[in-house]
């Protein structure tokens, strides 16, 4: 429903022998193969990378914490994007046709919205969690418990799934666009039109969590700077030693907040252009060219592939967990009790003892 149709001489149909078939825009073999490789790599990375994150956190007892359960649930949302959304969008983007039926077109659209908003809500709760951890790291374990984490996870999933399925299956998104939808409906198409009212609500559901994230992490970095200055200003050795445990805890929480802040920044950069374009389209008559729309969609999708890379780069425990998973050591007895922080030290000590 975006872009200009090709000239009559170049017209191809999604279904050659079906009346009312959508027009197909074909790529030459080279670009087609390149696009399939690019999109397929993103889907594979989202599935495998986030599966590793979930397996690491759920398998190793050391990683069983309320904050990590939030991260595992976030990884589940990104995993489902790679499994249920990206492969089908890949075919639609490259072939410019939908070959998976009208029923799954609606499900696909619902999954797309559900997992996107679930990611946003999870990141919002994670930012609040990090803020509480940094502002008072000693009281934080009492305030943010497993039950509190479970409540945040349940709210994220229930709200996102309920909203997305309601919007699509009630047809509320198409109110006022009936003529446009009827004119653009064809066999082999799968584009969901959203009217001006609901596109603004969509944007608010993205913007409000985004503002919470930005506010929380801005305060976190201000607090981190103040704490760093306070630690540097400690001149008394006695005072430094008495406060050392609290400082170590605060330093650890600031590092975790910094890493997750990068994940939040990547999410905002990936999804903000898409939501801005959605508003422009709704108010200016869906003027975005097809290729621009597809680029924005896939930039957003690729966000689901980025978080595992961020964790792998910044979290030593995740790199060690990956090594244990890939080598099959998690299948050994009591592997869930391995201390990821001291695994390297244990291995070195073992080698020395054997020598």
Which pLDDT score is estimated for 257? 65
Residues in the chain: 355
83-104 pLDDT, tens digit per residue, is 999 999 999 999 999 999 888 9
As a whole number of angstroms, the distance between CA 176 and CA 156 comes to 30
If you average pLDDT over residues 261-266, what whole number do you get? 82
All structural domains of the chain with their residue ranges: 31-336
List all residues 6 or more positions away from 211 whose beta carbon is below 8 Å from its beta carbon.
none
Nearest in space to 50 (alpha carbons), one of 261, 263, 216, 217: 263
- Cβ count near 278 (within 10 Å): 20
Ramachandran angles phi, psi of 27, nearest 5° = -100, 155
The more confidently predicted of residues 99 and 217 is 99
At 181, the pLDDT band (50, 70, 90 cuts) reads: confident
Cβ pair 113, 167 in contact under 8 A? yes
Ramachandran angles phi, psi of 12, nearest 5° = -125, 155
Q: What is the DSSP letter of 21?
A: B
301-318 pLDDT, tens digit per residue, is 999 999 888 877 777 888
List all residues 6 or more positions away from 46 whose beta carbon is below 8 Å from its beta carbon.
78, 79, 81, 82, 83, 86, 301, 304, 305
As a whole number of angstroms, the distance between CA 4 and CA 74 comes to 38
Which CATH superfamily is 31-336 part of?
Answer: Rhodopsin 7-helix transmembrane proteins (1.20.1070.10)
Q: Name the region of 171 (left: φ>0; alpha: ψ -120 to 50; beta: rest).
A: left
List all residues 6 or more positions away from 152 whose beta carbon is below 8 Å from its beta carbon.
70, 122, 125, 129
Q: What are 23's two structure tokens?
A: 């027009």
Cβ pair 186, 20 in contact under 8 A? yes
Q: For 183, what's the count of Cα atoms within 13 Å in the CB-facing half-sphere?
A: 6
Ramachandran angles phi, psi of 2, nearest 5° = -125, 145
- Least confident span in 115-124, 215-224, 315-324: 215-224
Nearest in space to 164 (alpha carbons), one of 219, 120, 127, 213: 120
């Amino acid at each position: 429903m975006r872009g200009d149709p090709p000239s009559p001489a170049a017209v191809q149909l999604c279904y050659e022998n079906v009346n009312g078939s959508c027009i197909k825009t074909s790529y030459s073999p080279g670009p087609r193969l390149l696009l399939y490789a690019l999109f397929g790599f993103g889907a594979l990375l989202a599935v495998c990378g986030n599966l590793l994150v979930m397996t690491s956190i759920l398998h190793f007892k050391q990683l069983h914490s309320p904050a990590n359960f939030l991260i595992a649930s976030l990884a589940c949302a990104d995993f489902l994007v790679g499994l249920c959304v990206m492969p089908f969008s890949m075919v639609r983007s490259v072939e410019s046709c939908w070959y998976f039926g009208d029923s799954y077109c609606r499900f696909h659209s619902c999954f797309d919205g559900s997992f996107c908003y679930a990611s946003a809500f999870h990141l919002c709760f994670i930012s609040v969690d990090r803020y509480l951890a940094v502002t008072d790291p000693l009281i934080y374990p009492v305030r943010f418990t497993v039950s509190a984490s479970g409540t945040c996870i349940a709210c994220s999933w229930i709200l996102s799934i309920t909203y997305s399925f309601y919007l699509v299956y009630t047809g509320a998104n198409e109110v006022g666009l009936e003529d446009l939808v009827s004119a653009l409906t064809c066999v082999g198409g799968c584009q969901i039109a959203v009217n001006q009212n609901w596109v603004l609500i969509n944007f608010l559901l993205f913007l409000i969590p985004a503002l919470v994230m930005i506010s929380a992490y801005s305060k976190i970095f201000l607090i981190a700077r103040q704490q760093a200055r306070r630690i540097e200003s400690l001149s008394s050795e006695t005072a430094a030693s008495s406060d050392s445990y609290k400082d170590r805890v605060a330093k650890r929480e600031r590092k975790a907040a910094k890493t997750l802040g990068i994940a939040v920044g990547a999410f905002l950069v990936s999804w903000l252009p898409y939501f801005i374009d959605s508003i422009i389209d709704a108010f200016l008559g869906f003027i975005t060219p097809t290729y621009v729309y597809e680029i924005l969609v896939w930039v957003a999708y690729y966000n689901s592939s980025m978080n595992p890379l961020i964790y792998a780069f910044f979290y030593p425990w995740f790199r060690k967990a990956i090594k244990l998973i890939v080598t099959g050591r998690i299948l050994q007895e009591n592997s869930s009790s391995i201390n990821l922080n001291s695994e390297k030290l244990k291995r070195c000590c073992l080698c020395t003892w054997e020598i």
